[in-house]
Amino acid sequence: MKYAFDIGGTKIEFGVFSDQGEILHRQKVATPLEDRDSFTGAIADLVLAADAQFGTASAGKALPPVGISFAGGLDPESGAVISANVPPIKGWPIGAGLSAVLQRPVRVENDADCFALAEAHLGAGQGHRTVFAIILGTGVGGGIVVDGHFIGGRSGIRGEWGHGNDISGPLMRHGIKARQCGCGGAACLDPWGAARGMERIHTALHGKDLSSQEITTAWRAGNGNALKTIDVFVDLVAGQLRLMVNVLDPDIIPVGGGLAAEPGLIARIDAVVRTNVLGRYDQALVVPGHFFADGGLRGAALLHDAVI
């Protein structure tokens, strides 16, 4: 049995998994943001309740290990959280800290990496060697798994294809003014390449605020303004994604996050990417992930497996 957490800025999702990967229990609570004691207390309460419910605290039984997926990065040497939308854990070696509180092994990885792991082992990437999984949710993220293992990570950041690029040229071509990214970059993809980015594009083009769901619904209905918004969105995302394809030459790119629920949009991105990369891809490359809604949690449950 394994315990897994997916920790975000608004909620903590907890899952109990069998050794075969079946979800036996799932629960969500609000993420405590006021102090670290409240945060660790919420984690401990969920774990101890599961120990009692499933009898894992019985004498002689090994306590289930804990895997954690979270939106942020870790210092590979100290294990300290170097970026996160949960203030109490910034600068804290969360794995070692929670291991001491919970008295069992705890392993922590970025949420996009956990999603990539789940897709590589159990989802759309199963049977493929190189899996570059991307997130198109609130922001843009990514994780890389090769032969079942994470690669890279010297600095604690990997697969972050939404940052460090400059899309000011494409934005200007579409009549949109670039904006500074939260990371400090002048014109990164992240503010424009996910759900919030789609909404910003629509507002910039048409002067009207709509949610990403409203935009995609209007797009499927053939609305002219929405068609233009999606054209621009696909141009920006596919333009940066093709660079990653040329660099990594992945076997498959599973997509997670809210926009992965739009298969027509993902197919459109896939077609543009495959048309413009250097390599030949006869089959779909960019596809909705099997676990686009809960890949972080499922990947966290795999973190203690010997193959990782």
pLDDT digits (tens, 9 = 90+) for 202-243: 999 999 999 999 999 999 999 999 999 999 999 999 999 999
Instruction: Determine the pLDDT at residue 308.
Output: 64
pLDDT at res. 135: 95
Question: pTM for this structure?
Answer: 0.94
Distant-in-sequence, close-in-space partners of 100: CB < 8 Å, separation ≥ 6: none
Angle at 105 (CA atoms; ends 72, 75), nearest 5 degrees: 30
pLDDT at position 307? 59
pLDDT at 147: 95
pLDDT tens, position by position, 24-52: 999 999 999 999 999 999 999 999 999 99
Is residue 195 within 8 A of residue 258, CB to CB? The reply is yes
For 95-150, write each residue's pLDDT tens digit: 999 999 999 999 999 999 999 999 999 999 999 999 999 999 988 999 999 999 99
Give alpha helix (H) positions in 103-150. 111-122
Distance CA 87, CA 293 (A): 24
Alpha-carbon distance of 142 to 132, in angstroms, equals 7
In CATH, what is the architecture of 124-288? Answer: 2-Layer Sandwich (3.30)
Q: How confident is the model at residue 94 (pLDDT cuts 50, 70, 90)?
A: very high
Query: Amino acid identity of 54?
Result: F
CA-CA distance, 207 to 202, in Å (whole number)? 7
- What's the longest Cα–Cα distance across the chain? 67
The b-or-e profile of 152-164 (16+ CB within 10 A means b, else e) is ebeebbbbbbbbe
What is the fold, at CATH topology level, of the domain defined by 2-110+296-302?
Nucleotidyltransferase; domain 5 (3.30.420)
Strand stretches in the chain, DSSP E: 2-7, 11-17, 23-30, 66-70, 72-74, 81-84, 106-110, 130-136, 140-146, 149-150, 253-256, 286-288
Each residue's pLDDT tens digit, 231-289: 999 999 999 999 999 999 999 999 999 999 999 999 999 999 999 999 999 999 999 99
- Looking at residue 83, what is its pLDDT? 78
Q: Where in the chain is the domain with CATH 3.30.420.40?
A: 2-110+296-302, 124-288
